[in-house]
């Protein structure tokens, strides 16, 4: 059978819910082989302390009146949720709920929430009370949040080295923050306006699979033009950066989000590398760093602005291919995973590609990707080679408007090198 459903028996969020449902059916004993070699006793004792179970002798009994399965969500493994309260109905009615991790970009104030083909405007989000108040509206637009994501930590559970890369899977700590949102007109997709989102950062402890390029391979890729070297913006960069921030009032020129030198970025409208600056040989950085070529952006808008430039590299092309192939091998929804490629990761100080699960603690996708490493790369090579396009398309390395003329060729060369060819 092609089916291979995956789950992570060590995911405590999932295990606790399974234990409660099992205890409702029959009393549990601490020595039962419920989760492999992991002892159940400490977890059952914790559920007793919380009042969910009752212990008599060596058995643990369910205490509730109703079946716990009735409140176990099949859509999320998360514990906390945000209730959605329609305040324009008489009496006010709860029309749904969203997991806490999704609330900042689905239920921020000003968001359009879709429910049963109707649009609801989020008028107020009580973050501490976990309650969103919405009102039905008739509008011709939807909203999309700008979310900045960074990887705080990579902790490998297993790793392997070969062909110039270290591949691994393990724990990934992600930090996300919704900073602003856009109002987008239906059908024409015009941007009608912007708004700010003032909500705290969210931390996601999940699982991921990643590739880290060795120093020797990276230098070889630089020399062959497969990867682009990080930019040295010249000796006047910090001074010009401060001038751009002051000119723009320390706010994003695209969405209006405010910030400081740490939270805001300064972006070159015309890519810096196109000016041909070579340290010690010319002063082309002076023209590249002119204020009329600089713009202040928040991290989310900066990421979108550079998405095309990133995809123009072989690393971005590889990320695009693997992001499309992985769900086919995992038989999961494409939204269950996310791909992040960095030409020089702050964590590894090397080109790094991470595929992480968007589910707290993970459900086993990452380990499976680690096992499928060679098969994934071989499939990527075949997909690129078999595609009939000339220089790249959405079916292989990315849409033509987002990639350079040589992205397909350099991505193909990169995959061959990673396969040892």
Q: Tell me, yes or no, whether 347 lies in a domain.
A: no
For residue 335, say if its preceding peptide bond is cis, omega within 30 degrees of 0: no
pLDDT-derived band at 6 (thresholds 50, 70, 90) equals low
Last residue of a domain, one of 24, 44, 71: 71
Question: Are the C-beta atoms of 204 and 173 separated by less than 8 Å?
Answer: yes
Q: Tell me, yes or no, whether 24 lies in a domain.
A: yes
Domain that holds residue 261: 229-308
Looking at the structure of the chain, the number of domains it has is 2
Looking at residue 8, what DSSP letter applies?
Answer: -
5-8 long-range contacts (CB < 8 A, ≥24 apart) are: 5/331, 6/330, 6/332, 6/363, 6/364, 6/365, 6/368, 7/363, 7/364, 8/207, 8/361, 8/362, 8/363, 8/364
Contacts of 359 (CB under 8 A, 6+ apart): 76, 77, 206, 336
Q: Tell me, yes or no, whether 106 lies in a domain.
A: no
* DSSP per-residue string spanning 353-379: EEEEESSTT--SHHHHHHHTHHHHHHH
What are the tens digits of pLDDT across the range 247-260? 999 988 888 778 77
Last residue of a domain, one of 292, 308, 324: 308
Contacts of 202 (CB under 8 A, 6+ apart): 100, 101, 104, 175, 176, 177
Q: Tell me, yes or no, whether 295 lies in a domain.
A: yes
Compare 203 and 255 and report the one with higher pLDDT: 203
pTM for the full predicted model: 0.78
pLDDT-derived band at 311 (thresholds 50, 70, 90) equals very low
- The reported pLDDT for the residue numbered 77 is 60
Last residue of a domain, one of 24, 46, 71: 71
How large is the average pLDDT for residues 286-293? 95
Q: Tell me, yes or no, whether 298 lies in a domain.
A: yes
Question: Are the C-beta atoms of 102 and 146 separated by less than 8 Å?
Answer: no
d(CA 228, CA 224) in angstroms, rounded, equals 10
Strand partners, 296: 266
- The first and second tokens of residue 21, run together, are 């449902």
- The reported pLDDT for the residue numbered 73 is 66
Q: Tell me, yes or no, whether 362 lies in a domain.
A: no
Computed over every residue of the chain, the mean pLDDT equals 88
d(CA 18, CA 363) in angstroms, rounded, equals 14
pLDDT-derived band at 9 (thresholds 50, 70, 90) equals low
Please say if the pLDDT value at position 79 is more than 70. Answer: no
Strand partners, 213: 165
Q: Tell me, yes or no, whether 220 lies in a domain.
A: no
Q: Tell me, yes or no, whether 282 lies in a domain.
A: yes
- The reported pLDDT for the residue numbered 284 is 92
What are the tens digits of pLDDT across the range 136-180? 999 999 999 988 788 999 999 999 998 899 999 999 999 988 888
- The reported pLDDT for the residue numbered 7 is 66
Report phi then psi at 67, rounded to 5. Answer: -65, 130
pLDDT-derived band at 300 (thresholds 50, 70, 90) equals confident
> What is the percent of the chain with per-residue pLDDT over 70, rounded to a whole number?
92
């Amino acid at each position: 059978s092609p089916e291979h459903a995956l789950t992570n028996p060590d995911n405590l969020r999932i295990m606790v819910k399974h234990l409660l449902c099992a205890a409702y059916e029959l009393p549990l004993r601490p020595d039962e082989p419920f989760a492999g070699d992991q002892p159940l006793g400490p977890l059952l004792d914790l559920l007793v302390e919380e009042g969910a179970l009752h212990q008599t002798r060596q058995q643990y009994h369910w205490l509730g009146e109703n079946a716990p399965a009735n409140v176990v969500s099949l859509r999320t493994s998360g514990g906390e949720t945000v209730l959605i309260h329609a305040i324009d109905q008489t009496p006010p009615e709860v029309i749904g709920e969203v997991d806490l991790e999704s609330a900042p970009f689905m239920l921020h104030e000003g968001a359009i929430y879709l429910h049963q083909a109707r649009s609801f405007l989020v008028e107020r989000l009580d973050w501490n009370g976990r309650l969103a108040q919405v009102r039905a509206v008739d509008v011709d637009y939807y909203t999309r949040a700008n979310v900045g994501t960074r990887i705080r930590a990579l902790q490998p559970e297993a790793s392997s080295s070969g062909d110039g890369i270290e591949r691994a899977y393990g724990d990934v700590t992600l930090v996300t923050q919704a900073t602003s949102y856009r109002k987008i007109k239906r059908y024409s997709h015009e941007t009608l306006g912007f708004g700010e989102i003032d909500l705290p950062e969210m931390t996601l402890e999940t699982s991921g699979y990643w590739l880290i390029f060795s120093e020797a391979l990276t230098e070889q890729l630089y020399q062959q033009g497969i990867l682009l070297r990080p930019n040295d913006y010249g000796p006047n960069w910090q001074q010009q950066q401060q001038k751009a921030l002051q000119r723009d009032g320390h706010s994003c020129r695209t969405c209006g989000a405010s910030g400081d030198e740490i939270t805001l970025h300064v972006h070159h409208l015309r890519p810096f590398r196109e000016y041909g600056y070579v340290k010690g040989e010319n002063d082309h950085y002076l023209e590249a760093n002119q204020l009329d070529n600089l713009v202040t952006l928040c991290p989310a808008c900066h990421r979108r602005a550079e998405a095309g430039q990133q995809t123009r590299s072989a690393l971005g092309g590889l990320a695009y291919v693997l992001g499309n192939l992985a769900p086919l091998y995992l038989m999961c929804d494409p939204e269950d995973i996310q791909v992040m490629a960095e030409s020089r990761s702050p964590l590894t100080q090397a080109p790094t590609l991470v595929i992480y699960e968007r589910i707290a603690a993970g459900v086993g996708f990452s380990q499976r990707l680690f096992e499928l490493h060679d098969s994934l790369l071989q499939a990527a090579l075949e997909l690129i080679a078999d595609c009939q396009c000339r220089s790249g398309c959405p079916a292989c390395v990315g849409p033509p408007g987002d990639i350079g003329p040589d992205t397909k060729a350099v991505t193909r060369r990169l995959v061959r090198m990673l396969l040892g060819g």
